[in-house]
């Protein structure tokens, strides 16, 4: 091998970035391609959506993370296809040759064919979606403050989260804390703590991936936060003013101006392109079916890892789309390539499940460590510790810790900016309407 092998890695998420870092020092020529210039710490994205952290706090520029790893070039680019015969990755504006291809393009929100729901119920996969959700949550209270009609005001103060997996539970809990604590004294016409937060789930219990006893504990914690969950219901329609769902008692409509989507993800469309190019299969969610060594069948030099890969554990259960799986797969592929360079055989990938955590709110979380189930303050501390530990980069870790500390003590949220397209707060209002004298109550000099 005279020339170092060319490795192209697509995606700088947990799988791709972990893989690149584990390839440190190897005689390879690595190109890491990502649409974005930063790694995003997705498990904390809901904290951007709820105004606790700034986008910069949970992002690390890929170039900065990899600046001293000389065998890597970071490229910002959009992959549009694969040329299997010529071993090339096709970009929107160029091509990349590879000897080894590692695809870790991740997942996106999935609306099960109802594309028009996206505009009414944004999902939570990107920084832009997070700031959009933040805008909708905080703007809803602004609308309510200025809405004279009682029913309309209630619809502005009603928040529906579709999907009670970890993300949905986190979002619902965070909205409750915003309403009850953060905004408590901020308004003069409305009482933010009267906001209704509804969590809708198709399965018979919240946090379906967790054991039933932890679902129960989570449900209880949610009730304590004032979140009402409806399980066993199926959303059949979403528009600008609410949601229709199928319940055991029949069809039911909920009037709500803020609907958030946490009901499902599917693989990045690159999965299907890759499958077509290399003759692989995909599952219903668009994930690529891979060999036990994470290569595509009959393609020794093409790996798929992270949320884009369909991999099963020893019991035949598909691995979940979570960061630990992605990181272990990234490290495994690096070990595999190292073994190849050394001319030895690499074993198959085996996921070591160290447990699952879901946070519900202040001092409340559930943790599933196999036989040990933990909830409440202890689980919440574990969640805090693990997430701080993994936030990329020392600087971010300290910033995040500091902001959490402030928020814990003051209940305030520092990053609750309404940004993006600025629209009239009440576009539906009649222009002749006057809020004259409808302002603050009689002022007292004693404020």
**Interface positions, 96-125, toward a second copy (CB under 8 A):** 96-97
Q: Is 360 a residue that touches a second copy (CB under 8 A)?
A: no
Q: Is 76 a residue that touches a second copy (CB under 8 A)?
A: yes
**363, 380 Cβ separation under 8 angstroms:** yes
C-beta of 29: minimal distance to a second copy in Å? 5
C-beta of 424: minimal distance to a second copy in Å? 4
When the beta carbons of 188 and 220 are compared against a second copy, the nearer one is 188
Q: Is 297 a residue that touches a second copy (CB under 8 A)?
A: no
**Interface positions, 392-431, toward a second copy (CB under 8 A):** 393, 395-396, 398-399, 402-403, 406, 410, 412, 414-420, 422, 424-427, 429, 431
Q: Which residues of 1-25 are buried (b: 16+ CB within 10 A; e: fewer)?
A: eeeebbbbbbbbbbbbbbbbbbbee
Q: Is 59 a residue that touches a second copy (CB under 8 A)?
A: yes
**129, 329 Cβ separation under 8 angstroms:** no
- Long-range contacts, stretch 311-315, CB < 8 angstroms, 24+ apart: 311/349, 311/351, 313/351, 313/353, 314/350
When the beta carbons of 150 and 185 are compared against a second copy, the nearer one is 185
Q: Is 185 a residue that touches a second copy (CB under 8 A)?
A: yes
Whether 170 is catalytic is yes
C-beta of 34: minimal distance to a second copy in Å? 10
Neighbours of 285 (CB within 10 A): 17
Q: Is 435 a residue that touches a second copy (CB under 8 A)?
A: yes
Q: Is 440 a residue that touches a second copy (CB under 8 A)?
A: yes
For the chain, count helices (H), then strands (E): 12, 25
Residue with tokens 């710490």: 41
Torsion (CA) 372, 378, 382, 383 in degrees, nearest 10: 100
Q: Compute CA distances 248 → 198, 234, 245, whole Å.
A: 17, 10, 10
Which residues make beta-bridge pairs with 261?
Answer: 162
Q: Is 269 a residue that touches a second copy (CB under 8 A)?
A: no
Q: Is 433 a residue that touches a second copy (CB under 8 A)?
A: yes
Among 67, 191, 312, 354, binds a second copy (CB under 8 A): 67
Q: Is 132 a residue that touches a second copy (CB under 8 A)?
A: no
Q: Is 57 a residue that touches a second copy (CB under 8 A)?
A: yes
Q: Is 186 a residue that touches a second copy (CB under 8 A)?
A: yes
Q: Annotated catalytic residue: which of 129, 132, 139, 170?
A: 170
Q: Compute CA distances 436 → 221, 305, 423, 425, 441, whole Å.
A: 42, 60, 22, 17, 12
C-beta of 442: minimal distance to a second copy in Å? 7
Which two three-digit tokens encode residue 249?
A: 């008692």
CA 416 – CA 138 distance, rounded (Å)? 7
Q: Is 95 a residue that touches a second copy (CB under 8 A)?
A: yes
| Number of residues lying near a second copy (CB under 8 A) | 92
- Rounded (10°) angle between helices 166-177 and 212-224: 20
Among 150, 249, 342, 447, binds a second copy (CB under 8 A): 447
Q: List active site positions.
A: 170
């Amino acid at each position: 091998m005279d020339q170092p092998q060319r490795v192209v890695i697509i995606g700088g998420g947990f799988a791709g970035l972990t893989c690149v870092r584990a390839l440190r020092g190897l005689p390879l020529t690595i190109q890491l391609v990502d649409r974005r210039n930063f790694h995003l710490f997705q498990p904390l994205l809901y904290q951007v959506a709820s105004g606790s952290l700034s986008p910069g706090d949970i992002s690390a520029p890929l170039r900065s993370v990899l600046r001293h790893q000389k065998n890597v070039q970071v490229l910002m680019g959009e992959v549009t296809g694969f040329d299997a015969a010529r071993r090339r990755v096709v970009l929107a504006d160029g091509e990349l040759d590879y000897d080894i291809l590692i695809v870790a393009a991740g997942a996106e929100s999935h609306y099960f064919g109802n594309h028009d729901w996206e505009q009414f119920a944004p999902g939570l996969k990107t920084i832009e979606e997070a700031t959009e959700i933040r805008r909708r949550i905080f703007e809803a209270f602004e609308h309510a403050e200025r809405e004279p009609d009682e029913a309309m005001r209630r619809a502005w103060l009603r928040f529906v989260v579709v999907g009670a997996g970890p993300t949905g539970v986190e979002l619902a809990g965070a909205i409750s804390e915003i309403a009850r604590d953060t905004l408590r004294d901020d308004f003069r016409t409305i009482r933010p703590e009267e906001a209704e937060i509804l969590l809708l789930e198709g399965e018979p219990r919240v946090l379906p991936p967790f054991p039933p006893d932890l679902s129960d504990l989570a449900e209880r914690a949610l009730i304590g936060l004032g979140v009402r969950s409806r399980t066993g219901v199926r959303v059949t329609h979403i528009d600008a003013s609410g949601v229709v769902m199928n319940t055991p008692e029949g069809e039911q409509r909920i009037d709500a101006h803020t609907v958030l989507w946490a009901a499902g993800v599917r693989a990045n469309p690159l999965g299907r392109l890759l499958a077509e190019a290399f003759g692989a299969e995909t599952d219903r969610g668009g994930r690529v079916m891979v060999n036990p060594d994470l290569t595509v069948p009959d393609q020794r030099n093409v790996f798929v890892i992270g949320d884009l890969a369909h991999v099963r554990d020893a019991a035949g259960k598909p691995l979940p789309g979570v960061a630990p799986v992605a990181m272990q797969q990234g490290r495994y592929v690096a070990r595999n390539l190292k073994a190849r360079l050394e001319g030895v055989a690499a074993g198959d990938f085996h996921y070591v499940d160290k447990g699952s955590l879901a946070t519900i709110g202040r001092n409340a979380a559930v943790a599933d460590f196999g036989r040990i189930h933990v909830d409440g303050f202890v689980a919440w501390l574990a969640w805090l510790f693990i997430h701080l530990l993994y936030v990329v980069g020392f600087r971010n870790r300290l910033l995040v810790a500091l902001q959490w500390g402030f928020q814990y003590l003051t209940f305030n949220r520092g990053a609750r900016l309404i940004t993006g397209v600025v629209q009239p707060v009440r576009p539906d209002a009649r222009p002749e309407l006057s809020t004259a004298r409808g302002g603050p109550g009689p002022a007292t000099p004693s404020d």
